[in-house]
């Protein structure tokens, strides 16, 4: 981030404090513990990754409500669905890629049976870093989004995660929650109210222009760089706004219409394959509403590899300079 960005201010989001950064998977683990006492129907199923999906705290505190299913994700999904059919609220957790890999089981057990199954995929995207391509969930949103009845959520920080998990427990029906391995700065304060199916304006210049150079739609791990890009562009004379898309399905088509009405262009950024995720959802909304607005999509176009998250975000075009570029001109 440039020094000039430090001086810029926004209406919605304070500059994130370093100390408040938290991986969304960590916030998920805390939310489970918070919700467990008042919701005895909550049970948790793991496939040998509870240390990584952050359900260990729940497992220790509520051993009779935690089921270790071993390295057998499809059975975990099926057993979770059976538990749901008998009134439990089961959370099945694994890496995003391993859950999405059992798509047909999810299709039948969760979506077609319309069970109250809560699927939590952590380690989303190239943001996981060094573990490399086989561990990166990069196609999961696209896969889950085309399943009827399945809601898809990707919160961008700890507070939003806690509220999204709370919503999941109240909501009856299958939900897929996508979480990061890496720490995320805190964008939402305790006064934030997560609204299912709605995007929220995460950052905009204090003095709002009539017209924005661009509105950036960002989700999950891509959000911090989107905010950094908008901040950096302001002193260069470009007003850019960042919209956070936590609910990826059903998508907030109205938010796209609003962006189209007062922005030169729309940019989408996501740590997911460029096909099927946030960018696709925004394009679908624009097509549905007949909006004549340029849309530039930023996402991952191939498999990842081993490196630091920062190196990978730069390598795959998700760094803030890439996003700034997309706000100004079409990418080749």
Partner 1 sequence: MGVILANCLREKAGLYKIVTMPAAIPETAGELKARIKDMRVDIIRMISAAGSGHPGGSLSVIDILAVLYSQFLRHDPKRPDWPDRDRVVLSKGHGCPALYTVMAYTGYFPKEQLMTLRQLGSPLQGHPDRLRLPGIEASTGSLGQGLSMAVGMALAGKMDKKDYRTYAVLGDGELQEGQCWEAIMCAPKFKLDHLTVIVDRNNGQIDGHVHEVMDIEPLKDKFESFRWEAQVIDGHDLGQIAAALDKARKTQGKPQAIIADTIKGKGVSFMEDNINWHGAAPKKEQADKAAAEIQGP
Q: Which residues bind partner 1 (CB under 8 A)?
A: 43, 64-65, 67, 69-70, 72, 74-75, 77-88, 90, 104-105, 107-109, 112-114
Q: Count how many Cα atoms sit within 13 Å of the Cα of residue 80 in the half-sphere of its side chain.
A: 39
Q: Please, what is the minimum distance in Å from the beta carbon of residue 99 to partner 1? A: 14
Q: Which is nearer to partner 1, 115 or 182 (CB)?
A: 115
Nearest to 57 by CA among 83, 21, 85, 93: 93
Distance in angstroms (rounded) separating the CA atoms of residues 287 and 306 = 37
Please give the radius of gyration of the chain, using alpha carbons only, rounded to the nearest integer: 19
Q: Please, what is the minimum distance in Å from the beta carbon of residue 147 to partner 1? A: 13
Instruction: Give the residues across from 247 on adjacent strands.
Output: 153
Q: Please, what is the minimum distance in Å from the beta carbon of residue 108 to partner 1? A: 5
Q: Which is nearer to partner 1, 77 or 218 (CB)?
A: 77
Q: Which is nearer to partner 1, 16 or 173 (CB)?
A: 173
Q: Which is nearer to partner 1, 55 or 81 (CB)?
A: 81
Active site residue 73: yes
Nearest to 136 by CA among 322, 323, 307, 320: 307
Among the listed residues 17, 38, 73, 264, the single catalytic one is: 73
Nearest to 198 by CA among 267, 151, 147: 151
Distance in angstroms (rounded) separating the CA atoms of residues 62 and 237 = 54
Q: What is the DSSP letter of 331?
A: -
Q: Please, what is the minimum distance in Å from the beta carbon of residue 115 to partner 1? A: 8
**Cβ proximity of 118 and 177 under 8 Å:** yes
Catalytic residue list:
73
């Amino acid at each position: 981030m440039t020094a000039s960005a430090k001086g810029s201010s926004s209406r919605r989001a304070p500059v994130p404090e370093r100390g408040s950064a938290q991986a969304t998977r960590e916030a998920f683990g805390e939310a489970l513990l918070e919700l467990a006492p008042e919701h005895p129907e909550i049970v948790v199923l793991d496939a040998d990754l509870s240390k990584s999906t952050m359900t260990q705290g729940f497992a220790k505190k509520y051993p009779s409500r935690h089921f270790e299913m071993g390295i057998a994700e499809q059975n975990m999904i099926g057993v979770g669905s059976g538990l749901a059919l008998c009134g439990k609220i089961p959370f099945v957790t694994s890496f995003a890629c391993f859950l999405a890999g059992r798509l047909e089981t999810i299709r039948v057990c969760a979506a077609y049976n319309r069970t109250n199954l809560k699927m939590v995929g952590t380690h989303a995207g190239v943001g996981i870093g060094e573990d490399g391509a086989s561990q990166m969930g990069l196609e999961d949103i696209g896969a889950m989004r085309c399943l009827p009845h399945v809601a898809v959520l990707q919160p961008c920080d700890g507070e939003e995660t806690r509220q999204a998990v709370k919503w999941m427990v109240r909501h009856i029906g299958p939900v897929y929650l996508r979480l990061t391995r890496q720490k995320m700065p805190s964008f939402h304060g305790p006064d934030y109210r997560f609204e299912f199916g709605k995007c929220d304006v995460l950052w905009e210049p204090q003095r709002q222009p009539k017209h924005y150079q661009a509105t950036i739609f960002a989700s999950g791990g891509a959000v911090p760089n989107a905010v950094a890009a908008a901040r950096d562009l302001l002193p260069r004379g470009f007003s850019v706004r960042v919209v956070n898309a936590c609910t990826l399905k059903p998508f907030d088509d109205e938010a796209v219409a609003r962006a189209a009405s007062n922005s030169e262009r729309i940019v989408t950024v996501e740590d997911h394959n460029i096909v099927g995720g946030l960018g696709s959802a925004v394009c679908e909304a624009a097509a549905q509403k007949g909006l004549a607005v340029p849309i530039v999509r930023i996402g991952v176009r191939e498999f990842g590899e081993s490196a630091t998250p920062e190196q990978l975000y730069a390598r795959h075009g998700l760094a803030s300079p890439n996003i700034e570029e997309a706000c100004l001109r079409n990418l080749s």
